Structure 1
């Protein structure tokens, strides 16, 4: 029986590294991280770029995941499978955080909520299932912008005075999401509301969705309007748990 093909293994490793990494990466950084010769890494990157799985930033020469990955399948994972694997983790997050929990994916129409758990306080709430969110003004959207190359922010309208409305500012925010591994928004979509989100990864490390909480700014932030680290830890732990569940054979 034929053995594994080394070049395919290496190409997969490059894609996983770009998906998990801090952002755009230079060919030398990729080669060092994977223990490859620089010419070998460059050849793999050029091939992946040719099929649309990798893109190169013309300004810096660094590489990032390409939009061609979005053509492999809607959302990269069946939404019903995602919800089935994530439902208990989302319920637990809502109970621990005391806030509403949403899971969103990238679709042609935009960042779409595919699962919603109500805030556990018995107040009147509206079901957000199917809601399309502004990618640039929500934590869920920023995560998908940072890790899913198929996500298009489109126009950048202002919803509040704190909404990011320029591409340079959005690029900086996305870079910070990749560096930190989570996204936050404070009064950017709705005044008086904050949100925290983290990427959900499937087998191989590619991001297939985002999970997050939202609630009043004074509950999720401290007196300086800084998002509370305990809430960030809760969201990231839930995302990591869903990742583990997605990689366990059923």
Structure 2
């Protein structure tokens, strides 16, 4: 089991550092002897877990990991169901669609569906934004209890920038209406309306939104899009047994 534990520790370190790793990283962060670090990295390359970047000398995820991650991503039926519904909305509205997940106190963009209406800024897959400043983030946070929300607000960055009382009231409203919106917040010049769906079996929660120029964000447009997203999210939520959409 030791080699499996070592491999897991190395992959966790890569995830924490959010970059390729070197033998020096294993020595510094995992207290691994230099000879062991070099040998393990070589073995992981030979077995396809890692691959070495000749330009930087760092070790990146190998083909085996990439293929496995792709397989996991493809069998996520919730993601596919949401994307299918969102594509139909993007086609009918002309707006850009995003699928995002919560990662700590940030939202991470998974997929983008371009729309016909030009946006000043296009957010690409892999982009992260503060959860409290996005409609997708707040749609996901609305699933948290007040205690969990308070914990999210306890990070040093959040504590200095957030009015928790005001945000909690906002989240309560989102929880009741089951949709969220944002205008000129994380991305200036844009507005968005979001819903989220949770799969209790896999513990996966995904938010999806329609994003459009903030110049179009009058109350009528926001309410119209909210109703369309609501109607798209409800059958998906019921399909997966999401209590949020069963009540």
TM-score, structure 2 length as denominator? Answer: 0.55
Taking a change above 3 Å as real, the CA distance of residues 168 and 87 of structure 1, as seen in their structure-2 partners, is: same
Size of the aligned set, in residue pairs, is 162
Q: Secondary structure at the match of 1:147?
A: coil
| Correspondence list, 1:128-143, <5 A | 128-143=124-139
* 1:113 is the counterpart of 2:109: yes
Tell me how far 1:124 sits from its aligned partner.
9.0
RMSD, matched Cα: 3.2
| Correspondence list, 1:129-208, <5 A | 129-148=125-144, 152=152, 154=155, 155-156=157-158, 165-202=162-199, 208=205
* 1:210 is the counterpart of 2:203: no
**Could you tell me how far apart the structure 1 residues matched to 2:193 and 2:211 are?**
7
| Correspondence list, 1:1-250, <5 A | 79-80=73-74, 81=76, 82-108=78-104, 110-121=106-117, 126=122, 128-148=124-144, 152=152, 154=155, 155-156=157-158, 165-202=162-199, 208-222=205-219, 228-244=222-238, 246=240
* Structure 2, gaps ≥5 residues long: 1-71, 242-247
The Cα offsets for residues 109-164 of structure 1, whole Å up to 9 and x where unpaired, read as: 73111121111358897452111121111100111111146783543499xxxxx8
Bigger radius of gyration: 2
Taking a change above 3 Å as real, the CA distance of residues 109 and 184 of structure 1, as seen in their structure-2 partners, is: closer
Tell me how far 1:201 sits from its aligned partner.
3.0
* Structure 1, gaps ≥5 residues long: 1-77, 159-163
Higher helix share: 2
CA contact (8 A) 1:110 1:134 kept: yes
Taking a change above 3 Å as real, the CA distance of residues 96 and 198 of structure 1, as seen in their structure-2 partners, is: same
The Cα offsets for residues 53-85 of structure 1, whole Å up to 9 and x where unpaired, read as: xxxxxxxxxxxxxxxxxxxxxxxxx65413223
Q: Secondary structure at the match of 2:142?
A: helix
Tell me how far 1:190 sits from its aligned partner.
3.0
Which of structures 1 and 2 has the larger relative contact order (alpha carbons within 8 angstroms, sep 6+)?
1
Q: Secondary structure at the match of 1:196?
A: strand
